[in-house]
């Protein structure tokens, strides 16, 4: 990019990256702003607001008996006459557009012609009481014409030919039940395979994972006098909810206000579903003129919100004797369930990462996302990348075994380093920050890889076996070509010297917004304790784009930098005037103490610290001088490049890299696995929020462990979800965590990230499962290719291979 | 299961056992007894049952919560909670160490303060940890109604899927079993995908009495042998009885005898094949654990 | 279900019960089918009690009832009549933090925070019974509480730290901010 074209907001980020070497707040252990309110039980989550509203109405969703059926008729009369029922709403009552599809308009809010999965909302009971609402739901009589149910994506498409098969169509209104098809075409794969010394080929399967955030979805809608509505909702994306609700109600966006209180976890799952529940609450408020409440039960949450796409993939890798990769070929099918949700974007992210952080001279990859009658799949931490990483990292181990090479040596031979080109032809330079090799080297050193790899190969104690395995990852930062990749933040300095921080980015536990405050504090010199983060509110906080794709720190951080930078500049000039030195010399510093006050903060000249004033005096002066103390910051990533036919271009601004190592003990007689230890080494450019980063490394690993070993949403052949609660959907509990997780941080510095930072939210789960499964494969000397790798799958796999005799 | 079925119901709280029995005598099937409610509340939620009126047994806890030795029996009041079992002498008696296994693996710590012994067998469900263990102790169930007391051996108490040998006017008041001999012990193992909070793919309990290294007596119970409730593997037991305690004999028992009496189901949680093989492994481990306990005195 | 449009929907009796919550007595009318969690949250305003599952599977709703740890989502409100309830709001006097809460801060354990009220009560219950628990005992006591954000390591550390505070007689701490 020529210098002249670099926008001002990018230049600011680059300037600050090169200027700041020492940090006061960034990268330090600093308590998040809402910690006290959360541990005292005072923090208010959406459902908690119910205690403030008298006389609300309760909304309960009527869901179908079948996962796939035409609706012949809906009779609500009996339900409507049930005492306590105020209204029963069906599709015909929707004043605006009956659609809440996220990327494609394929998802009716209330089904009237057809149901496509087992939780498809058909009608809403609006009642005086939640028990009454649930009772009345059974009095809505729906006549169905059942259709064959498809739960296996390979009934829709052939894995080998990638052709759509003859099947009962799920979305007749569309051309095909294949919602997207992405491609990578590079070099001459046929030729490379012919010339290769070794070729390995396998089929991989990954399960449908549930977010299981602890707070189920909730929304409260309060009717406004002008026909508008205010919605309190547990959402990651308030501006998306506003748009969806405005469409459903048929009103303009300024009549819908969405406020986001504390959120009890999201992990990507509180994106599209909140369009649905926000709209349900809004409709009820619209019709009754009373506050309306939708609080999903755990069971409704499990069956009624998006999941992680299951994947079936066929992979073929070809290499030379010395381990050099020659080609990668893959057919990848993602099951997006009944609706597209974010499926097309997930499929795109999957293909971008599908060959791994390696030099791949020849490649042919096809990625398809298809409809089935399963619960719809959408965004979930990692967004398509965990699935493909599972496949390619198992392929790498299979290849290493064929070659008789150590898995580490094979990877060292092929990994991307500075100056290499990705499979898409993107040149990785120093500006991107390419710390993959360092993560690998440091991880294997800390864990003592070579010794353990050898030792565990021979370990056998009764029915116990030990193994060690690793997996590498890359993860493109922010949204790439998926959407408009902008972000924004507003900083307001108040007259008492405190600071108000506003962004439409949401915090659902990950602490990213706190990272933005640390960035602002670093630049302004005002300690983070003096900041107040205002809850996202479409009426006051700027639209910062969705809180997805690990983009908060990178995009939001860069926007925050711009706001803080401009403010600081004005303050420096004012202070320089007051103190009589040059603006470049102004230092703003606070004493180190927990209960710091605005008047403790000092502003002085670097060359002569005796020339000083209080921060509060500077603030006061600026009010007298008319120096504006609020600022809006914006950042937008350079346009991503992607050729639809070949997958060539520059899909992401940069990549987060990492190496995960796992040690396991397997009881071969039962198939039980204990993950003993993990090392998680990430190159995230620069650690901004250290507490948040560590928590991500731990939390992502634990969620990844669940993905690898126990979590799976299971549908029966009728499309009924069998795992609809937290007893039969297994999330890791305190007894399941590894004895230790050792985090390693590599700070390679990304020139266009805030102080060099890259994203971590999603990468923290991406390569956990393949590391654990590679370790299990090492322990059992077997090649398992499916997750969740349950005790049963391990046991029966070994039994079939003749490795077990009871 | 596609939705939830919460609904309203009435509650009656009796002030004495007599009053409770009277209510049952008068209203019979239209009232549902509730002990801890950890099963009843879930059945309502899942739409498995619709209740009109709950008979709250909690007020009777002062009468029906106890663990005592009497007349050569160990008697456990029906409303004894798992937490109370945990605090009792029972778990420190090596003969009954199987209870320790049950308690540690039972649901979650906070559920144990509600879940009762009577409720556990009252569910009639195969995945009843206490019920499975009690089978190996030849326990009896004491039922009381306005008409008097009835005593049913636990193995005859289970009748079918969630069906128990209880008349609508009866309450479970006690479970009891004869004191086990000093050369015996018990063990219980439940295995599932995760260690904490699990239902179990397979539940097994073993009672073992050894004379030297000879198996004087053995009882082995599973969550299911073929029918949808806990049962003993009697053929396997009789094969082992009188034999030397050896891995070889145990292997023979589970490879040659157990499969002749056990038929497992496949469902979304596990296949029949895995359940059978796991039954074998866990049976072996439970017997070994019981033996270790006998010898550790 | 038979219905009678002339009939009001509110046909179940109101039962007056007395609850002592966090040291204060409340008289409150409840329905026979009503759960303790709903009364605590919506009738008395103790929204620190969280509902994560409503099925006894997550531990977010646990409270102490006469000193015992119970899931308030499975307890009928009428059953709590006359009982002493402690919720997270009652761990420390207003403006103070309990040792357990202080330990959560010291270990930087907080993520989304939805699980914390449950963990706080579970740890408090453990320390009441056993002021010097081993790591194994801590894990056992917390084995039924789900933290989906994965703060488990810090929660174990926090429980240890809290036990140290308690043994040193440091029960309440000032809130700095
Ligand atoms: C999250 C969760 C985890 C669980 N984990 C386990 C586990 O690990 N192991 C296990 O075995 N179970 C488990 N259960 C099931 C249940 O908790 C136990 O079976 C418990 O022992 C039931 O006792 P209760 O007192 O709560 O029974 P209730 O729910 O009160 O009653 C169960 C049944 O017995 C009847 N009944 C109860 N008491 C009497 C009586 N005195 N007279 C007549 N009828 C009576 C009731 O009418 C009802 O039909 C779990 C349940 C949940 C919700
Ligand atoms: S809400 Fe009560 S245990 Fe989950
Ligand atoms: S911090 Fe989110 S569930 Fe524990």
Q: Nearest Cα to A797, choosing from A707, A713, A671?
A: A671
- At the second CATH level, the architecture of C15-90 is Roll (3.10)
> The tokens of A612 are what?
């000083």
Residue A292 has pLDDT above 70, yes or no: yes
User: In this structure, are residues B25 and B169 in contact, taking their beta carbons and an 8 Å threshold?
Assistant: yes
A459 half-sphere exposure, CB direction, 13 A CA radius: 23
> The tokens of B249 are what?
């004999």
Three-class SS of B130-190: HHHHHHHCCCEEEEEECCEEEEEEHHHHEEECCEECCCCCCEEEEEEEECCCCCEEEEEEE
Q: Which atom of ligand 1 is nearest to the CA of C56?
A: 1
C71 lines ligand 2 (CB under 6 A): yes
**Which residue of chain A is at minimal alpha-carbon distance from B201?**
A792
- At the second CATH level, the architecture of C96-174 is Orthogonal Bundle (1.10)
C54 lines ligand 2 (CB under 6 A): yes
Q: How wide is the angle at C-alpha A351 spanned by C-alphas A348 and A354, nearest 5°?
A: 150
Domains identified in chain A and CATH numbers: 2-30+486-636 (3.30.365.10), 46-147+217-295 (3.90.1170.50), 311-480+642-800 (3.30.365.10)
The pLDDT of A565-569, averaged and rounded, is 95
User: In this structure, are residues A276 and A109 in contact, taking their beta carbons and an 8 Å threshold?
Assistant: yes
- pLDDT tens, position by position, B190-221: 999 998 899 999 999 999 999 999 999 999 99
Residue A3 has pLDDT above 60, yes or no: no
Give me the pLDDT at residue A213, please: 97
The CATH number for B184-295, chosen from 3.30.390.50, 3.40.1010.10, 3.30.450.20, 3.40.50.300, is 3.30.390.50
In chain C, what are the domain boundaries?
A: 15-90, 96-174
Which residue, judged by its Cα, is nearest atom 12 of ligand 1?
Answer: B128
Task: From chain C, pick out residues whose CB is under 8 angstroms from the CB of A35.
Answer: 104-105, 110, 113
User: What percent of chain B stands above pLDDT 90?
Assistant: 96
Q: How confident is the model at residue C6 (pLDDT cuts 50, 70, 90)?
A: low
B36 CA to centre of ligand 1 in angstroms: 7
- E-only strand ranges, A477-545: 486-493, 499-502, 531-533
Better-predicted residue by pLDDT, C171 or A269? C171
Q: Which long-range contacts (CB under 8 A, 24 or more apart) does B149-155 make?
A: B154/B121, B155/B231, B155/B232
* Confidence check on the interface: ipTM exceeds 0.85, yes or no: yes
Subunits next to A (3 or more Cβ pairs <8 Å) are B, C
Q: Which of A109-118, A243-252, A498-507 has the lowest mean pLDDT?
A: A498-507
CA separation for the pair A160, C104 (Å, rounded): 53
Residue A507 has pLDDT above 60, yes or no: yes
Give me the pLDDT at residue B1, please: 38
Helix ranges (DSSP H) in A729-804:
763-766, 768-780, 791-800
Q: Which atom of ligand 1 is nearest to the CA of B130?
A: 11
| A727 closest CB neighbour out of B1, B195, B199 | B199
Average pLDDT, chain B: 96
Q: How confident is the model at residue C7 (pLDDT cuts 50, 70, 90)?
A: low
Q: Tell me if chain A has a CB within 8 Å of the CB of B96.
A: no
Question: Is the backbone of residue C45 left (phi > 0), alpha (psi -120 to 50) or beta?
Answer: left
In chain B, what are the domain boundaries?
A: 184-295
Query: A391-410 as b/e, with b when 16 or more CB fall inside 10 Å?
Result: bbbbbbbbbbbebebbbbeb
Residue A255 has pLDDT above 70, yes or no: yes
- pLDDT tens, position by position, A518-553: 999 999 999 999 999 998 899 887 776 666 656 777
CA separation for the pair C159, C145 (Å, rounded): 13
Average pLDDT, chain A: 94
Main-chain dihedrals φ then ψ at residue C103, nearest 5 degrees: -65, -35
Average pLDDT, chain C: 94
- pLDDT tens, position by position, A344-400: 999 999 999 999 999 999 999 999 999 999 999 999 999 999 999 999 999 999 999
Which residue, judged by its Cα, is nearest atom 32 of ligand 1?
Answer: B119
Residue A675 has pLDDT above 70, yes or no: yes
C71 CA to centre of ligand 2 in angstroms: 6
CA separation for the pair B163, B161 (Å, rounded): 5
Q: Which of A752-756, A791-795, B105-109, C21-25 has the lowest mean pLDDT?
A: A752-756
Q: Nearest Cα to A692, choosing from A1, A30, A234, A15?
A: A30
Give me the pLDDT at residue A483, please: 62
A691 half-sphere exposure, CB direction, 13 A CA radius: 26
Torsion of CA A19, A20, A21, A22, to 10 degrees: 150
Q: How confident is the model at residue A105 (pLDDT cuts 50, 70, 90)?
A: very high
Give me the pLDDT at residue A268, please: 87
Give me the pLDDT at residue A481, please: 61
Q: How confident is the model at residue A485 (pLDDT cuts 50, 70, 90)?
A: confident
Give me the pLDDT at residue C3, please: 45
User: What percent of chain A stands above pLDDT 90?
Assistant: 85
SS3 A49: helix
């Amino acid at each position: 990019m020529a210098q002249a074209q670099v926008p001002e907001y990018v230049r600011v980020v680059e300037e600050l990256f090169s200027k700041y070497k020492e940090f006061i707040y960034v990268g330090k252990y600093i308590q998040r702003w809402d910690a006290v309110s959360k541990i005292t039980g005072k923090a208010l989550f959406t459902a908690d607001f119910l205690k403030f509203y008298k006389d609300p109405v309760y909304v309960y969703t009527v869901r179908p008996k079948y996962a796939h059926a035409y609706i012949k008729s809906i009779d609500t009369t009996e339900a409507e006459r049930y005492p306590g029922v105020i209204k029963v709403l069906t599709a015909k009552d929707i004043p605006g557009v009956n659609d809440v599809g996220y990327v494609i308009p394929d998802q009716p809010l209330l089904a009237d012609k057809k149901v496509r999965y087992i939780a498809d909302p058909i009608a809403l009971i609006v009642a005086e009481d939640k028990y009454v609402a649930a009772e009345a739901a059974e009095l809505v009589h729906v006549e169905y014409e059942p259709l064959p149910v498809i739960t296996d994506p390979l009934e829709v498409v052939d894995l080998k030919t990638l052709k759509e098969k003859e099947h009962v169509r799920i979305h007749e209104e569309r051309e095909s039940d294949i919602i997207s098809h992405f491609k990578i075409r590079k070099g001459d794969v046929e030729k490379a395979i012919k010339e290769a010394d070794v070729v390995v080929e396998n089929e991989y399967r990954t399960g449908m994972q549930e977010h299981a955030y602890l707070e189920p979805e909730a929304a409260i809608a309060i009717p406004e006098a002008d026909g508008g509505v205010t919605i309190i909702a547990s959402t990651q994306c308030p501006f998306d909810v506003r748009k969806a609700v405005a469409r459903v109600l048929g009103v303009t966006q300024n009549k819908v206000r969405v406020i986001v209180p504390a959120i009890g976890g999201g992990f990507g799952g509180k994106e599209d579903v909140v369009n649905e529940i926000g709209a349900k609450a809004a409709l009820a408020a619209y019709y009754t003129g009373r506050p309306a409440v939708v609080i999903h039960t755990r069971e409704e949450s499990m069956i009624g919100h998006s999941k992680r796409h299951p994947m079936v993939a066929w992979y073929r890798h070809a290499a030379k004797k010395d381990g050099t990769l020659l080609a990668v070929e893959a057919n990848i099918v993602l099951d997006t369930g009944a609706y597209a949700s974010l499926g097309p974007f997930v499929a795109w992210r999957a293909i971008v990462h599908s060959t791994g952080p390696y030099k791949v001279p020849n490649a042919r990859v096809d990625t398809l996302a298809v409809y089935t009658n399963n619960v719809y799949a959408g965004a979930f931490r990692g967004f398509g990348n965990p699935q493909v990483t599972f496949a390619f990292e198992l392929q790498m181990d299979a290849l290493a075994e064929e070659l008789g090479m150590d898995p580490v040596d094979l990877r060292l031979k092929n990994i991307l380093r500075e100056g290499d080109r990705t499979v898409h032809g993107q040149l990785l330079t120093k500006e991107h920050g390419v710390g993959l090799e360092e993560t690998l080297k440091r991880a294997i050193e800390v864990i003592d890889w070579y010794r353990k790899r050898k030792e565990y190969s021979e370990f056998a104690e009764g029915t116990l076996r030990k193994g060690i395995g690793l997996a590498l990852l890359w993860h493109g930062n922010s949204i790439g070509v998926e959407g408009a990749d902008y972000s924004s933040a507003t900083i307001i300095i108040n007259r008492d010297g405190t600071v108000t921080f506003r962004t439409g980015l949401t915090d659902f536990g990950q602490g990213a917004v706190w990272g933005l405050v640390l960035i602002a504090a670093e630049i302004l010199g005002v300690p983070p304790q003096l900041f107040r983060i205002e809850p996202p509110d479409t009426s006051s906080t700027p639209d910062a784009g969705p809180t997805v794709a690990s983009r908060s720190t990178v995009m939001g951080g860069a926007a925050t930098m711009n706001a803080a930078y401009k403010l600081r500049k004005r303050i420096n000039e004012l202070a320089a005037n007051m103190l009589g030195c040059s603006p470049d010399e102004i230092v703003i510093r606070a004493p180190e103490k927990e209960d710091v006050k605005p008047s403790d903060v000092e502003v002085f000249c670097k060359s002569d610290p005796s020339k000083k004033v209080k921060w509060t005096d500077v603030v006061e002066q600026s009010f007298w001088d008319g120096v504006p103390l609020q600022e809006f910051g914006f950042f937008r990533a350079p346009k991503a490049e992607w050729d639809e036919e070949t997958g060539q271009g520059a899909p992401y601004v940069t990549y987060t890299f990492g190496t995960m190592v796992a040690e396991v003990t397997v009881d071969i007689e039962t198939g039980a696995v204990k993950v003993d230890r993990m090392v998680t080494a990430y190159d995230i450019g620069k650690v901004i929020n250290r507490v948040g980063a560590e928590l991500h490394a731990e939390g992502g690993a634990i969620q990844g462990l669940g993905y690898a070993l126990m979590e799976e949403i299971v549908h029966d052949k009728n499309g009924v979800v069998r795992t609809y609660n937290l007893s039969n959907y297994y999330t890791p509990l305190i007894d399941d965590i590894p004895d230790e997780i050792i985090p390693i941080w590599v700070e390679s510095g990304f020139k266009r990230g805030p102080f060099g930072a890259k994203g971590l939210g999603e990468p923290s789960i991406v390569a956990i499962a393949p590391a654990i499964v590679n370790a299990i494969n090492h322990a059992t000397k077997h090649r398992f290719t499916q997750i969740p790798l349950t005790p049963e799958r391990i046991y029966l796999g070994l039994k079939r291979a003749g490795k077990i005799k009871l | 299961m596609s939705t939830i079925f919460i609904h309203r119901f009435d509650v009656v709280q009796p002030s004495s056992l007599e009053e409770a029995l009277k209510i049952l005598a008068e209203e019979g099937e239209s009232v549902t007894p509730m002990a801890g409610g950890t099963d009843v509340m879930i059945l309502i939620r899942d739409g498995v049952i619709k209740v009109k009126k709950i008979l709250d047994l909690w007020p009777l806890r002062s009468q029906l919560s106890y663990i005592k030795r009497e007349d050569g029996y160990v008697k456990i009041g029906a409303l004894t909670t798992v937490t109370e079992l945990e605090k009792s002498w029972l778990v420190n008696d090596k003969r009954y160490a199987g209870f320790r296994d049950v308690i540690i693996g039972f649901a979650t710590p906070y559920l144990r303060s509600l879940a009762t012994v009577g409720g556990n067998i009252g569910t009639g469900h195969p995945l009843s940890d206490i019920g499975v263990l009690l089978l190996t102790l030849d326990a009896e169930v004491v039922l009381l109604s306005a008409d008097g007391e009835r005593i049913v051996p636990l193995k005859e108490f289970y009748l079918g899927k969630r069906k128990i040998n209880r008349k609508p006017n009866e309450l479970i008041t006690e479970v009891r079993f004869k004191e086990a001999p000093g050369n015996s012990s018990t063990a219980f193992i439940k295995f599932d995908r995760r260690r904490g909070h699990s239902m179990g793919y397979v539940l097994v309990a073993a009672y073992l009495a050894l004379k030297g290294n000879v198996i004087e007596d053995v009882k082995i119970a599973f969550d299911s042998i073929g029918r949808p409730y806990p049962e003993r593997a009697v053929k396997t037991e009789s094969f082992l009885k009188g034999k030397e305690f050896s891995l070889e004999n145990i292997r023979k028992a589970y490879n040659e005898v157990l499969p002749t009496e056990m038929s497992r189901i496949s469902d979304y949680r596990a296949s029949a094949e895995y359940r059978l093989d796991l039954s074998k492994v866990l049976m072996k481990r439970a017997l070994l654990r019981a033996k270790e306990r006998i010898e550790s005195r | 279900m038979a219905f009678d449009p002339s009939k009001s929907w509110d046909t179940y009796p109101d039962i007056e019960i007395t609850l002592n919550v966090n040291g204060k007595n409340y008289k409150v009318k409840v329905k026979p089918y009503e759960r303790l969690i709903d009364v605590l949250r919506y009738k008395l305003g103790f929204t620190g009690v969280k509902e994560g599952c409503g099925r006894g599977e997550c531990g977010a709703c646990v409270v102490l009832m006469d000193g015992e740890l119970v899931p308030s989502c499975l307890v009928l409100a009428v059953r709590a009549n006359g009982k002493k309830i402690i919720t997270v709001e009652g761990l420390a006097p207003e403006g103070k933090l309990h040792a357990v809460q202080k330990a959560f801060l010291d270990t930087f354990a907080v993520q989304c925070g939805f699980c914390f009220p449950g963990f706080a009560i579970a740890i408090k219950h453990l320390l009441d019974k056993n002021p010097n628990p081993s790591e194994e005992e801590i894990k056992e006591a917390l084995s039924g509480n789900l933290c989906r954000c994965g703060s488990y390591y810090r929660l174990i550390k926090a429980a240890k730290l809290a036990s140290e505070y308690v043994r040193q007689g440091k029960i309440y701490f000032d809130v700095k901010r």
